[in-house]
């Protein structure tokens, strides 16, 4: 029989998303994902001016095993690279048939999803939105507002993260600012993929 582990609480600050204990913190600067943005001139200017922090993830320490539920908060900071909003890298789950739930606590976002056949979907993220990402959809969170986008996520322990496909091909859509409002448009750099 598997080892019986002790139940435990984590305190989630509902205002800013910070967990106590903090858990495993992942920090992403622009330099960690510079090829993912459209405007490489804007990327270079931002890198020359100090490499902005794009997002932070606080992960509760739970084994990455079947039967467990991994959970974490993500904080995507407000900002743009050219006219493209700050966003997460985005990924498929390694075990691609696993779902996820995002509960938004603060800010405004767009949750961009893409199936393996290239179909895309978006959901608005706002305080109180509970977004269900079904199995088989890659997902990326984009901060389209003026304050941090903060959300709490829960997903199966054995889901894993596969960044490779998105790093290589991108998403078929990008979210750009037009007169300060977000618009979802076709990604001119998208590498069409047949599965």
Give the per-residue contact string, 56-95, with ligand PAN (x = CB under 6 A; - = no): -x--------------x-x-------------xxxx----
Q: Does 161 bind ligand PAN (CB under 6 A)?
A: yes
Residues 101-140 that bind ligand PAN (CB under 6 A): 139
> Hey, which residues does 176 pair with through a beta bridge?
84, 183
Find the binder of Zn ion among 43, 55, 100, 131 (CB under 5 A): 100
Given a contact cutoff of 8 angstroms between Cβ atoms, the answer to whether 22 and 13 are in contact is no
Shortest Cβ distance from residue 133 to ligand PAN (Å)? 7
Shortest Cβ distance from residue 178 to ligand PAN (Å)? 25
φ, ψ (nearest 5 deg) of residue 160: 70, 170
For residue 92, give the 3-state DSSP assignment.
strand
* 57's tokens: 């993830």
* 128's tokens: 């109180």
98 or 182: whose CB is closer to ligand PAN? Answer: 98
Rounded to whole angstroms, the Cα distance separating 108 from 146 reads: 8
Which whole-number Å values give the CA distances from 95 to 60, 65, 90, 92, 172, in the listed order?
20, 11, 15, 8, 22
Find the binder of ligand PAN among 81, 141, 171, 174 (CB under 6 A): 141
List the one residue out of 88, 95, 133 whose CA is nearest residue 115: 133
Q: Does 143 bind ligand PAN (CB under 6 A)?
A: no
Shortest Cβ distance from residue 82 to Zn ion (Å)? 26
Shortest Cβ distance from residue 50 to ligand PAN (Å)? 21
Shortest Cβ distance from residue 23 to Zn ion (Å)? 16
Find the binder of ligand PAN among 86, 100, 152, 156 (CB under 6 A): 100
Q: Does 153 bind ligand PAN (CB under 6 A)?
A: yes
Mention every residue, 6+ apart, whose C-beta is less than 8 A from residue 79: 52, 54, 85, 86, 143
For residue 123, give the 3-state DSSP assignment.
strand
Binding site for ligand PAN (CB under 6 A): 57, 72, 74, 88-91, 100, 139, 141, 153, 155, 161
Binding site for Zn ion (CB under 5 A): 100
């Amino acid at each position: 029989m598997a080892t019986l582990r002790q139940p435990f609480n984590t305190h989630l600050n509902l205002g800013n998303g910070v967990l106590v204990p903090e858990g495993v913190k992942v920090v992403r600067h622009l330099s960690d994902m510079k090829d993912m943005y459209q405007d490489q001139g804007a990327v270079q200017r931002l890198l020359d001016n100090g490499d902005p922090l794009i997002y932070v993830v606080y992960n509760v320490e739970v084994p990455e095993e079947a039967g467990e539920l991994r959970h974490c908060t993500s904080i995507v900071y407000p900002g743009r690279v050219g006219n493209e909003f700050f966003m997460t890298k985005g990924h498929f789950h390694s075990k691609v048939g696993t779902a996820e739930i995002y509960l938004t606590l603060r800010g405004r976002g767009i949750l961009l999803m893409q199936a393996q056949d290239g179909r895309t979907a978006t959901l608005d993220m706002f305080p109180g939105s509970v977004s269900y990402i079904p199995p088989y959809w890659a997902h990326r969170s984009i901060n389209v507002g003026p304050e941090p986008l903060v959300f709490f996520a829960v997903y199966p322990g054995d889901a894993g993260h596969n960044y490779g496909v998105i790093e290589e091909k991108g998403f078929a859509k990008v979210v750009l600012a037009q007169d300060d409002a977000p618009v979802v448009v076709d990604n001119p750099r998208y590498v069409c993929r047949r599965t």
